[in-house]
């Protein structure tokens, strides 16, 4: 797209697991997080050429197909991790890429 001067959109599919992780399926969460990182970097690199790079992060929807999910969830104590960014606001600066 860059070489041919084509503007457009690249859309990738990842998962809420990219941001949340999970108590199982580490390989799945890791691969989805990699796609999220790719999208974030590619959007910065290709945006100057008029190419938008985005992703969608779907999850499952509680329907009758997930019979018993709510009961299973109630029985498990869930601990969620948090990514605490300690950078003094550096990553929010307009030219943060120069420092990362």
> Domain 8-84 in CATH: superfamily?
NAD(P)-binding Rossmann-like Domain (3.40.50.720)
For residue 53, give every residue at least 6 positions away whose Cβ sits within 8 Å of its Cβ, in sequence order, or none. Answer: 9, 10, 11, 12, 39, 42, 43, 46, 47
Higher pLDDT, 82 or 68: 68
At 51 the pLDDT is 92
What is the tens place of the pLDDT at every residue in 47-58?
A: 999 999 988 888
DSSP state string for 37-83:
HHHHHHHHHHGGGTEEEEEE------SGGGTTHHHHHHHSPP-----
What is the tens place of the pLDDT at every residue in 6-54?
A: 999 999 988 888 877 777 888 988 998 999 899 989 998 999 999 999 8
Q: Of the listed 28, 49, 69, 79, which one is catalytic? A: 28
Structural tokens at position 24: 């199982």
Residue 79 is a catalytic residue:
no
**pLDDT tops 90 at residue 1:** yes
At 15 the pLDDT is 84
């Amino acid at each position: 797209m860059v070489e041919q001067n084509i503007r457009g959109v690249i859309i990738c599919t990842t998962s809420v697991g990219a941001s949340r992780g999970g108590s199982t399926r580490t390989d799945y969460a890791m691969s989805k997080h990699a796609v999220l990182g790719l999208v974030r970097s590619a959007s910065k690199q290709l945006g100057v050429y008029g190419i938008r790079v985005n992703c969608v992060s779907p999850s499952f929807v509680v329907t009758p197909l997930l019979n018993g999910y709510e009961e299973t969830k109630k029985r498990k104590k869930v601990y969620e991790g948090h990514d605490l960014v300690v950078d003094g606001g550096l990553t929010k600066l307009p030219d943060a890429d120069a420092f990362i």
